[in-house]
Amino acid sequence: MTFEAVPVALVDKPRRVREMHGITESGPGLLPLDAGQQYRFTFDMGACIGCHSCEVACAEQNGLPADTAWRRVGEVEGGQYPLTKRYYLSMACNHCLEPACLEGCPTGAYEKLANGVVAHHADDCIGCQYCTWNCPYSVPVFQPDRKIVTKCDLCRPRLDVGEIPACVGACPTHAIGVERVDVQAWRADHSGADAPHLPPSGLTVSTTRIILPDDLPEETFAASDYTLQPEHPHWPLVWVTLLTQIATGVMAGAVANGAERSGSLAAFIAASIALPTSLFHLGRPAMAFKALRGLRRSWLSREVLAFGLFAAMTGAAVLVPGAATATAALAVGIVGVYASARLYIVPGRPSWNTPLTIVQFWATGLAIGPLLLAAINGPSFVLRALAAVGSGVSLAAHLANLARLARDDRFEHRGTWTLVRGHLRRPFVVRVTAGLLAIVIAIVGPPEVALVFAALAEITARWLFYVSVVPLNMPGGFFRGRLGAHR
Amino acid sequence: MKPISQLLRRLVDHGGDRYTYATDPRFGPTHAEHVPDQWVRTTCGYCSVGCGILLGTKGDRAVACKGDPDHPVNAGRLCPKGLSEHLTIGATGRLRTPMLGKQPVSWDAALEAMVDEFTRLTTAHGPEAVAVISTGQLVTEEFYALGKLVRLGLGLVHYCGNTTLCMASAVSGYKLSFGTDGPPSSYDDLALADCLIMIGANVADNHPLLVPRLMENRHGTLVVADPRVTKTAMLADIHLAVRPRSDITLLNGIIRILFEEDLVDHEFIAAHTSGASALRAAVDAYTVEHVAAECGIDAADLVRVAHAFGRAERAMVAWTMGVNHSVQGTETVALINTLCLITGNIGRPGTGPFSITGQCNAMGTRETGFTGSMPGYRSFDDPAHRLELANLWGIDEARIPTDRGRAYPDIINAIVNGRVKALWVIGTNPVVSFPNREVLEFALGRLEFLVVSDGFETPTTEMADLVLPAAIWGEKDGTFTNSERRVSRVRKAVEPPGEARSDFDVILDIADRLGVRDELFPGWKVPEDAFEEWRVVSRGRPCDYSGITYERIEREGGVQWPSVEADTAPGGTPRLYTDGVFNTPDGRARLRSVEPTPIADQPRPQYPFLLNTGRTVEHWHTRTKTGKVPILERLAPEAWVEIHPDDADRLGLRAGDSVRLRSSRGSVEPVAVRVSATVRPGEVFLPFHYDEACANRLTPSEFDPISREPNYKQSAVAIERLHA
pLDDT at B179: 96
Residue B211 and residue A46 in contact, taking contact as beta carbons nearer than 8 Å: no
A25, A52, A155 ranked by CB distance to B617: nearest: A52
C-alpha distance from B213 to closest chain A C-alpha (Å)? 9
C-alpha distance from A212 to closest chain B C-alpha (Å)? 15
Cβ distance of B28 and A158 shorter than 8 Å: yes
pLDDT at A17: 39
**Residue A321 vs residue A393, higher pLDDT:** A393
pLDDT at A2: 41
What average pLDDT does chain A have? Answer: 91
CA distance B423 to B239: 44
CB pairs under 8 A between A and B: 201
pLDDT of residue A8 exceeding 70, the answer is no
Radius of gyration (C-alpha) of chain B in whole angstroms: 26
Which chain B residue is nearest to residue A66, measuring alpha carbons? B631
Cβ distance of A21 and B11 shorter than 8 Å: no
Cβ distance of A51 and B644 shorter than 8 Å: no
Q: Using alpha carbons, select from A40, A421, A363 the residue that is nearest to residue A201.
A: A40
Per-residue confidence band for A90, with pLDDT thresholds at 50, 70 and 90: very high
Chain A contact set for B23 (CB, 8 A): 21-23, 161
Cβ distance of A157 and B21 shorter than 8 Å: yes
Which chain A residue is nearest to residue B204, measuring alpha carbons? A49
Which chain B residue is nearest to residue A78, measuring alpha carbons? B677
Which chain B residue is nearest to residue A121, measuring alpha carbons? B16
Beta strand B130-134 with B103-104 is unpaired
Chain A contact set for B233 (CB, 8 A): 82
pLDDT at A19: 43
Residue B451 and residue B421 in contact, taking contact as beta carbons nearer than 8 Å: no
B14, B235, B236 ranked by CB distance to A148: nearest: B14
Per-residue confidence band for A484, with pLDDT thresholds at 50, 70 and 90: very low
Cβ distance of B634 and A286 shorter than 8 Å: no
- Write down the H helix ranges in B434-579: 437-446, 459-462, 503-514, 517-520, 527-538, 550-556
Q: What is the mean pLDDT of residues A256-271?
A: 90
Mutate which: B240, B631, B657, vs A, most A CBs within 10 A: B631
Region of residue A52 (phi > 0: left; psi between -120 and 50: alpha; otherwise: beta): left
Contacts of B260 (CB under 8 A, 6+ apart): none
- Give the other-Cβ count within 10 Å of B577's Cβ: 21
CA distance B501 to B468: 8
Measured in whole angstroms, how far is the alpha carbon of residue A162 from the centre of its chain? Answer: 33
Residue A45 and residue A177 in contact, taking contact as beta carbons nearer than 8 Å: no
CA distance B333 to B172: 8
Chain A contact set for B642 (CB, 8 A): none
B21, B204, B672 ranked by CB distance to A482: nearest: B672
Contacts of B18 (CB under 8 A, 6+ apart): A63, B33
pLDDT of residue A15 exceeding 50, the answer is no
CB interface of B with A, residues 451-490, below 8 Å: none
Cβ distance of B638 and A77 shorter than 8 Å: no
A5, A125, A478 ranked by CB distance to B640: nearest: A478
From residue B320, give the alpha-carbon distance in Å to each of B48, B167, B298, B337, B688.
Answer: 11, 8, 24, 14, 16
pLDDT at A6: 38
Tell me the ipTM for this assembly: 0.96
Which chain B residue is nearest to residue A69, measuring alpha carbons? B631
Half-sphere exposure of A13 (CA within 13 A, CB side): 25
Q: Is B491 on the interface with A (CB under 8 A)?
A: no
Buried b (16+ CB within 10 A) or exposed e, A378-399: ebbeebbebbbbbbbbbbebbe
Chain B contact set for A166 (CB, 8 A): 30
CA distance B258 to B268: 14
Cβ distance of A50 and B204 shorter than 8 Å: yes
pLDDT at A226: 86
pLDDT of residue A30 exceeding 90, the answer is no
CA distance B612 to B627: 22
CA distance A254 to B155: 98
Residue A124 and residue A107 in contact, taking contact as beta carbons nearer than 8 Å: yes
Contacts of B681 (CB under 8 A, 6+ apart): A81, B644, B646, B647
CA distance A389 to A439: 8
Q: Which residues of chain B have pLDDT under 50?
A: none
pLDDT at A229: 84
Mutate which: B634, B653, B657, B675, vs A, most A CBs within 10 A: B634
pLDDT of residue A486 exceeding 80, the answer is no
pLDDT of residue A48 exceeding 90, the answer is yes
pTM: 0.94
Q: Using alpha carbons, select from B217, B343, B327 the residue that is nearest to residue B279.
A: B343
pLDDT tens, A97-145?
999 999 989 999 999 999 999 999 999 999 999 999 999 999 999 999 9
pLDDT at B724: 60
pLDDT at A13: 34
Q: Using alpha carbons, select from B703, B68, B46 the residue that is nearest to residue B357.
A: B46
Per-residue confidence band for A28, with pLDDT thresholds at 50, 70 and 90: low
pLDDT tens, A202-246?
999 999 999 999 999 999 999 998 888 889 899 999 999 999 999
Q: Is B674 on the interface with A (CB under 8 A)?
A: yes
Measured in whole angstroms, how far is the alpha carbon of residue B401 from the centre of its chain? Answer: 26
pLDDT of residue A21 exceeding 70, the answer is no
Cβ distance of B83 and A26 shorter than 8 Å: no
CA distance B427 to B293: 44
pLDDT at A20: 41
